[in-house]
Amino acid sequence: MTDTTPDGVETRDPDALRRRAGVRGDPGRDQHFLVDNRILDRLPGYLPPEADTAHLLEVGGGTGGLTDRLLRTGDRVTVIERDPALAGFLGEEFSGAVEAGRLDVVDGDAVEVDLPEFSACVSNLPYGISSPITFRLLPRSRPLVLTFQREFAERMAADPGSGDYGRLSVTAGHYADVEVVEVIPPSAFDPQPEVESAVVRVTPRDPDYEVDDEAFFFDFVKALFTQRRKTVRNGIRNTAHISGLSDPDAVVDAVAAEDEGLLRARPGSLAPSEFAALTGIAAEHGR
C-alpha cells in the first residue's frame, strides 16, 4: 500500500514496510516505529527554509518510513541503523537508491560510528541515545529536526528561569536556536511508548558571547547545575572536583569584585552569556 503526496508522488506505507521487514518494535530495545503517515510527511518540512538538503543524515532508520520521505527531500541520504536485520532490510527495500548512490546504509551504533559529513539531519531518535547523539550532532552546526521524549525536548528548548532549564538548555542554546515544533502522541508509534514525544527544530548560529575554552565552559556549567538549588557562590565552592578548579575561593572573590549579584543567583536563572562570563573569570583566577 502507498499513499500519494500533494505533488502526486507515492510514498511507502509504514505499516507495509514493517510487515515486509517481518519485525515488530521492541520497547526493551528502544524500538518504537513511527507509523503515522501525516507526521512522517511533515518531519522533513520542519527543516529551516534555508537548509541545505544535499546530504541528509537519519539516525535510527528502523523500517524506513522516514528514510522514504528523506529520499524524496534530499539529493543523498545516509541512514545509521544499529539493528543488523533492519540495516539489511533497508538496503534491500531501497536497493534502487543504494545502487544509484543516493542512499548509504550504515550498520552500527550512531553514538560510536564515525558520522559522515552531512548538510542536515532529520531523525526519529531512540529515546535511549537522546543525550549522547544530541551532544554529537550539535557541534556540527547543521540544521536538525529530531524527535525526543517530550520531557527531553522541553528541557532542550527551555528558557532561563523555567523549571525545565538546565545543562541541556545551556549547551543546546550555545550552538543553536531550539524550538519544539510538534508534540506527538503515543498512538503515532508502534508499539506505543508510555510517554508523549516531541519534534525539535535546531537552527545553528553563533553565540552572542565568546568562550575561549568550550570544554571548560561545558564542565563549569555541568558542575553548577549539580548544585542547582544552591547559590552560584556555594556551587563554585562545592563542585571544584567536577569543574576542575584548583582555587574556587579565588574565583568567588574575583566574581564578587565584578558582580556580587551573580554569586547570589542560582544556576537556573542564569543566561548562557552569564555562564560564559563566569567561566571566563573562573579560567583566569581559579585554574
Question: What average pLDDT does range 88-107 have in this prediction?
Answer: 98
End-to-end CA distance of the chain: 63
Does residue 3 register a pLDDT over 80?
no
Mean of the pLDDT values across residues 47-68? 97
Annotated binding residue 151:
no
Q: How far is CA 116 from CA 66, 230, 263, in A?
A: 19, 41, 43
d(CA 40, CA 44): 8
Residue 3 known to bind ligand: no
Residue 6 has pLDDT above 70, yes or no: no
Residue 4 pLDDT exceeds 60: no
- 108 among annotated binding-site residues: no
Q: What is the pTM of this model?
A: 0.92
Domains and CATH numbers, the chain: 2-204 (3.40.50.150), 214-285 (1.10.8)
Instruction: Give the pLDDT confidence score for residue 192 in this predicted structure.
Output: 93
Classify the C-alpha dihedral 140-142-143-144 as positive or negative.
Answer: negative
Please state the rounded mean pLDDT for residues 68-76: 98
For the residues 218-242, what does the mean pLDDT come to?
96
Supply the pLDDT for residue 10.
75
Q: How much of the chain, in percent, has pLDDT values that exceed 90? A: 91
Nine-digit cell string for 153? 525536548
Binding residue per annotation — 206?
Answer: no
Q: What is the pLDDT of residues 134-169, one digit of tens each?
A: 999 999 999 999 999 999 999 999 999 999 999 999
Retrieve residue 125's grid coordinates.
531518535
Q: Where are the beta strands (DSSP E) in 127-254?
A: 144-149, 176-184, 189-190, 197-204
Residue 144 to residue 137: CA distance in whole angstroms? 8
- Establish whether 124 is an annotated binding residue: yes
Is residue 84 predicted with pLDDT exceeding 80? Answer: yes
Q: Residue 32 annotated as binding?
A: yes
